[in-house]
A = this chain, B = another copy of it.
Amino acid sequence: MSKENVLYQHGTLALLVPGLLDGTITMKELLEHGDTGIGTGEGLDGELVILNGVPYQVDSTGKVNIVTDKFTLPFANIHFAKFQKLVHVENMDQSDLEKKIMSLTSGNTFFAIRLHGTFAKVNTRAVKKSHKPYSTLAKTAQNQSIFEQENVEGTLLSYYSPDIFDGAAVGGFHHHFLADKHDFGGHNLGFEGATGDIEIQQFDTLEQHLPVKNSDYMDYDFSGQDILGAIHEAES
């Protein structure tokens, strides 16, 4: 099995829900599993986009930083890029773009999407880092900044997860964005007028890594919580 068939995931979205926000993998460790990815820092410290092995963080002031090897994350997706062109699109909004992709590929396995192009409008958000004791995902994520740019060139990087893995990941699409000028990006809240080549990379394996050395995680009682409901509220 070649490594390009593997999506590596550290943590789960489920563990973020009650506020298990410790950074449990370093960027150095994460980059051993790929050169392309998304994630968030300890305490929901901004939104990460990893492109060509460079880890960009959009922080809650909107600034784009390159983080160090020692930067830690509670949750991330990463893989070794080997994208193939799926289709060229012109002036397409997010909803139509997702439908277009799903009309061309199976929704029963994990895949990544990369779209480098021009966007008439992009809306993003980035959460402000919180510190221990952490609050829930929903409360922590309220402390976010929202950004918008028009006529922006940049890269949309997205992961798709089958519904059956909803909870471990976001069932459906999870989009992050980084502008070419590195002056804008974050967790994508919506876009309009996307023009460019949609590239796809399909995986046959999810390598799901859990933070078993983190006692807050291992000792946490998840029973009786509406984990999926909280994820959909926070990640939509």
Spell out A's residues near B (CB within 8 Å).
Answer: 12, 14-15, 106, 108-110, 162-165, 167-168, 202, 204-212, 217-220, 222-223, 227
Contact = CB atoms under 8 A, between A and B. Distances in A.
Contacts of A12: 164
Contacts of A110: 210
26 contacts: A12-B164, A14-B164, A15-B108, A106-B212, A106-B218, A106-B219, A108-B210, A108-B217, A108-B220, A109-B210, A109-B212, A109-B218, A162-B222, A163-B223, A164-B227, A165-B167, A168-B168, A204-B210, A204-B211, A205-B207, A205-B208, A205-B209, A205-B210, A206-B208, A207-B208, A208-B208
Contacts of A212: 106, 109, 202, 204
Nearest to A105: B218
A209 B208 CA distance: 11
Contacts of A204: 209-212
Contacts of A162: 222
Cβ-closest 10 pairs across A and B: A106-B218, A206-B208, A204-B212, A14-B164, A164-B167, A109-B210, A205-B209, A109-B212, A207-B207, A108-B218
A221 to B, nearest CB: 9
Contacts of A209: 204-205
Copies of this protein in the complex: 2
Contacts of A217: 108
Contacts of A165: 165, 167-168
Contacts of A223: 163
A220 B162 CA distance: 12
A163 B17 CA distance: 15
A215 to B, nearest CB: 9
Contacts of A14: 164
Contact of A222 (B163, B211, B218): B163
A222 B108 contact: yes
